[in-house]
Chains A and B, each alone.
Chain A
Amino acid sequence: MADIVGGADITVAKAPKFRQTRKGQVRKHIINVKVRNEIGVLARIATLIAGKGYNIESLSVGETHEPGISRMTIEVVGDDIVIDQVVKQLRKLIDTLKVRDITDVPHVERELVLIKVHTPTSRARDEVLRIVEIFRGKIVDVSPETYTIEVTGDEDKINAMLELLKPFGIKEMARTGKVAMRRELFAEEAGE
């Protein structure tokens, strides 16, 4: 609304206005962190994420080809905007060398899972074996009552396989947590 102030028009608020506030989408994020392998690094990173009230879904750490440097892949469900804040704060840590949220960039992700399935009958063993073959898994341990299966893949593949195995009875399961890597773009893609 225009208001006359000392003869000149100035447009001003006459009624309360509202500033756009921040609300992001809540979803799963994958964050890669390159760190110096110092004591307490893991605790620092975990403290920071927990401090935002978020739970880490999975976290995997391992050494890289560079001595003294480790790489973490962290999966965390959270509001896009808060995660952006977490990424900025992770970058501020003295021991982090590189932090990147790769959720929205082309990347490959893999997880390794060990699953112990109840297979008391030969029919169950046959069926489980077939499922394992379809998903290109491996039987890594056998007992009269169980098969232990190793499988790697992305989230969809592993979830699909778990769905199929569930009816047999899953006795135990261990997952490594995701590792993920950005896909290298070809020259023409990168040039776009």
Chain B
Amino acid sequence: MSRKGADIVIETLKEENVEVIFGLPGGAIMEVYDALYRDGSIKHILARHEQGAGHMAEGYAKATGKVGVAMTTSGPGATNIVTPIADAYMDSVPLVVITGQVPTHMIGNDAFQEVDIVGITRPITKHNFLVRDIEELPLIIREAFYIAKTGRPGPVLVDIPKDITQQLSDVKIPSLEEVKKALPGYKPHVEGNAQQIKKAAKLIMEAKRPVLYVGGGAVNAEAQEELIELAELMKIPVTTTTQGKGAFPENHPLSLRMLGMHGTYYANMAVYNSDLLIAVGARFDDRVTGKIDEFAPDAKIIHIDIDPASISKNIIVDVPIVGDVKIVLRKLINELKRKGAKILYLEERERWLEQIEKWKKLHPLTYKNSKKVIKPQYVIEQIYEVTSGDAIIVPGVGQHQMWAAMFYKFSYPRQFLNSGGLGTMGFGLPAGIGAKIGRPEKEVFVVDGDGSFIMTMQEIITAVQYKVPVKVAIINNAYLGMVRQWQELFYDKRYSEVDLSLQPDFVKLAESMGAVGFRAEKPKEVREILEEAMRIDDRPVIMDFVVDREENVLPMVPPGKSYRDMILEDGRGTEAETMYLVG
């Protein structure tokens, strides 16, 4: 049947089971919006800025594991979504972004609202396409979905010139088999090399002081069950990155919680003293390793990852295993069981776990609470309590993000959705809206900074319009706090351009957009407000928590330094004698 290119777009999206598109229309994409209107079966969320649409699609994708879909017009619409695309690329988020383009015959002429978005996004997409022929349109869109969600997930952009959306064609929607056949150069590894898995099993059985270091790859592969089984089977403590949070429950006795720059003392000490590090779907980011040549200096490293290019990128590993994390872990467990799952140095292992318990007691995550001013950590703890630890937490970027990571305990995958790789301020609110749309049954708490919130706060309107009851807790220190902290610690308190004390009245701002606004200035108001917010389920709630302005995120490994240089929660350095194994 002959139909317009625009209708083919919608038909193909339906074939991909797309339930929701986040976007904002304009000239070059109008035909597709017309087809969307006429069809009427796909929900569309009208963001107020394309960056918002992009982060919403990311939040949706991160919360559900499905592909997030965003749509914009050409030119400024397309450039406005560049940041979310880069963000999704860094954090391996499956995204399909459809952009309108000027008509084919005008491309390259500096036409009105023309920009070479394919060129611009080439280094920040897993792949991108400019559609040149209507006959290719459905194949390209299906390829985009296939590429976005398989292997190491990532964003794929499809740029569609306006004339192609207007032409008529009776081209068929291709089958998945045809899609795969059209991509002969794309074959993600999945199985994992059997020989390497054997080697890994041997190292694990022989290890005295092993640690599992788990990243976002384990969440993407849905490998929680395998991780718990492996850790319990071989008694291996587990630390995760921010992306890996929830892949292993943080209330599990073997959990070391987060490692790295703002990791726990005990996670970092365990990694530093380990003799075997098993990296699972993680990429040895510099925020994790600190000074690379002092990272786990005594350890052999096993690295399991779907992306061959991630392996031995930042650090030399002893046993690389390329494959799907879930499949490889399952095979590894089977191999270990086949060999009797023996821990060869059982006594040393017991002592290793004892040592870790000592580290946990020596320097747990703590802070000094106050009766006069609200401490940011206290707010996070209270959020944990009123949500019974079950909410999805979506932070912005800064100190509040780290406090959210530290003082909320995460128990299931896709529970902590943050902009980890790119560190995009403004991610929180729109991503939280996307997450709530994807998982309406879950409470979604955006823990935002006053600086981050302002970058995308227009999306409150979007949440009001679609009755998305996200809760937004602004940890308001009236500072670009994380930058201020660095200035305090490394620039002699020269607070250059970080003061945000001139700010909108967040309560009135919320109310002006039809949301509910609350403010807490005293510690005792925190709980009251949160409880009241929990009773609202038809609108977003914006809570302004006026917190201690100069609170710092601790512990901290200063940038470029080693775990040995960690600044502890009392602001003092690590005492050398506690660093290493002590009786």
Query: A residues bordering B, Cβ < 8 Å?
Result: 3-6, 8, 10, 12-14, 16-22, 35-36, 39-40, 43-44, 47-48, 51, 81, 84-85, 88-89, 91-97
Closest Cβ–Cβ distance, residue B279 to chain A (whole Å): 14
Residue contact A88 to B580, C-beta cutoff 8 Å: no
**B10 nearest CB across to chain A (Å):** 25
What residues on B are CB-neighbors of A13 within 8 Å? 273, 297-298, 580
- Contact assessment for A5 and B355 in the assembled complex, using a CB-CB cutoff below 8 Å: yes
| 5 A-B interface contacts by CB (under 8 A) | A8-B347, A16-B564, A19-B294, A93-B127, A94-B185
CA–CA, A43 and B294, complex, Å: 38
Q: Which residue of B lies closest to A92 (CB)?
A: B309
Contact, CB under 8 Å: B351 / A91: no
A48 to B309, CA, bound (A): 13
Q: Is B308 touching A22 in the complex (CB atoms < 8 A)?
A: no
Q: A40 near B313 (CB under 8 angstroms)?
A: no
B581 pairs with A19, CB closer than 8 A = no
Taken together as a complex, chains A and B put the C-alpha atoms of A4 and B315 apart, in Å, by: 31
A5 CA / B352 CA spacing, docked (Å): 9
- Is the CB–CB distance between B315 and A88 below 8 Å? no
Contact check, B315 vs A43: say whether CB atoms are below 8 A apart.
Answer: no
A93 to B125, CA, bound (A): 10
Q: Give the residues in chain A near B355, CB-CB below 8 Å.
A: 5
User: Contacts of A91 on B, CB cut-off 8 Å?
Assistant: 308-309
B564 pairs with A88, CB closer than 8 A: no
Instruction: A8-B348, A19-B294 given; name 7 further pairs at CB < 8 Å.
Output: A5-B355, A16-B564, A17-B294, A21-B315, A47-B122, A92-B309, A93-B185
A19 adjacent to B351 (CB under 8 Å): no
**Would you call A3 and B292 a contact (CB within 8 A)?**
no
For residue B183, CB closer than 8 A to chain A, the reply is yes
Given A13-B298, A14-B580: A97 in contact with B185 (beta carbons within 8 A): yes
- Cα distance A94–B295 in the bound complex, in angstroms: 34
A95 surroundings in chain B (CB, below 8 A): 185
Provide the B109-153 mask, 1 if CB < 8 A to any CB of A, else 0: 000000000110011001100101000000000000001000000
In the complex, which of the residues A21, A93, A97 contacts B292, with contact meaning CB atoms closer than 8 Å?
A: A21
Which residues on B sit within 8 Å (CB–CB) of A36?
Answer: 184-185
**Smallest CB separation, A143 vs chain B (Å):** 39
Task: Name the residue of chain A whose CB is nearest to the CB of B289.
Answer: A19
Q: Does B307 contact A (CB under 8 A)?
A: yes
Q: Is the CB of B186 within 8 A of A94?
A: yes
Residue contact A6 to B354, C-beta cutoff 8 Å: yes
Complex formed: what's the CA distance from A97 to B130 in Å?
Answer: 20
Contact of A5 with B351 in the complex, beta carbons under 8 Å: yes
- Are B184 and A40 in contact (CB-based, < 8 A)? no
Q: How far is the CA of A176 from the CA of B122 in the complex (A)?
A: 27
Separation in Å of the B260 CB from the closest CB of chain A? 16
Give the docked Cα–Cα distance between A92 and B312 (Å).
15
CB within 8 Å for A85 and B183 given contacts A12-B273, A13-B580:
no
Q: Identify which of residues 349-373 in chain B touch chain A, using a CB-to-CB cut-off of 8 Å.
A: 351-352, 354-355
Give the chain B neighbours of A21 by CB distance below 8 A. Answer: 292-293, 315-316
In contact, B351 and A96 (Cβ under 8 angstroms): no
B556 contacts the other chain (Cβ, under 8 Å)?
no
Name the B residues within 8 Å of A85 (CB-CB).
309, 313
Decide: A6 near B351, CB < 8 A? Known: A16-B564, A88-B309, A94-B185. Answer: yes
Q: Give the contacts of B149-172 with A (CB-CB under 8 A).
A: none
Interface positions, chain B 538-583, Cβ under 8 Å from A, are: 562, 564, 580-583
| Cβ B298 vs Cβ A17 within 8 A | yes
Return A23 CB to nearest CB of chain B, in Å.
10
Given contacts A5-B581, A22-B315, A40-B118, contact A10 B294 (CB under 8 A): no
Write the B196-210 contact mask toward A (1 if CB under 8 angstroms, else 0): 000000000000110
Contacting B123 at CB < 8 Å: which of A19, A40, A51? Answer: A51
* Complex CA distance for A14 and B209, rounded to whole angstroms: 15
Q: B478-509 interface mask toward A, CB cutoff 8 Å, 1 = contact, 0 = none?
A: 00000000000000000000000000000000
What residue in chain A is nearest B354 (Cβ atoms)?
Answer: A6
The answer to whether A12 touches B347, judged by C-beta atoms less than 8 angstroms apart, is no
Most buried by B among A6, A19, A39, A81: A19
Q: Is the CB of B298 within 8 A of A20?
A: no
A22 contacts B316, C-beta separation under 8 Å: yes
Complex Cα distance A17/B273, Å?
A: 10
Say yes or no for B296: interface residue by CB 8 A criterion: yes
Q: Could you tell me the distance between the alpha carbons of A86 and B297 in the complex, rounded to whole angstroms? A: 27
Distance (whole angstroms) from the CB of B119 to the closest CB of chain A:
7
Residue among A18, A20, A35, A84 having the largest count of chain B Cβ atoms under 10 Å: A18
User: Which A residues are CB-close (under 8 A) to B209?
Assistant: 10
Residues on the B chain within 8 Å of A20, using CB: 293, 316
Q: Is the CB of B348 within 8 A of A19?
A: no
Q: Choose one: A12, A16, A97; the contact of B581 (CB below 8 Å).
A: A12
Min distance, Cβ A191 to any Cβ of chain B, angstroms:
22
B122 close to A44 (CB less than 8 A): yes
CA distance A156 to B63 in the complex (A): 58
- Chain B nearest CB from A88 CB (Å) reads 4
Cα–Cα distance between A101 and B185 once the two chains are bound (Å) = 17
Residue of B nearest to A69 (CB): B184
Q: Which of A8, A43, A88, A96 contacts B122 (CB 8 A)?
A: A43
What are the residues of chain A within 8 A of B309 when measuring CB–CB? 85, 88-89, 91-92
A52 to chain B, nearest CB (A): 11
Is the CB–CB distance between B208 and A10 below 8 Å?
yes
Q: Pick from B208, B273, B307, B315: contact of A92, CB below 8 A.
A: B307
Closest to A17 in B: B297
Instruction: Given the known inter-chain contacts A8-B351, A19-B293, A19-B296, please indicate yes or no for A39 contacting B132, CB distance below 8 A.
Output: yes
- Taking CB atoms, residues of chain A closer than 8 Å to B296 are 19
User: Shortest beta-carbon distance, B202 to chain A, in Å?
Assistant: 20
Interface pair B297/A19, CB less than 8 Å apart: yes
Question: How far is the CB of A167 from the nearest CB of chain B, in Å?
Answer: 45
Give the Cβ gap from B154 to chain A, nearest Cβ, in Å: 10
How close is B550's CB to chain A, nearest CB, in angstroms?
32
Across-interface contacts of A16 in B (CB, < 8 A): 294, 297, 562, 564
A48 vs chain B, min Cβ distance (A): 8
Please report the C-alpha to C-alpha distance between residue A40 and residue B309 in the assembled complex, in whole angstroms.
22
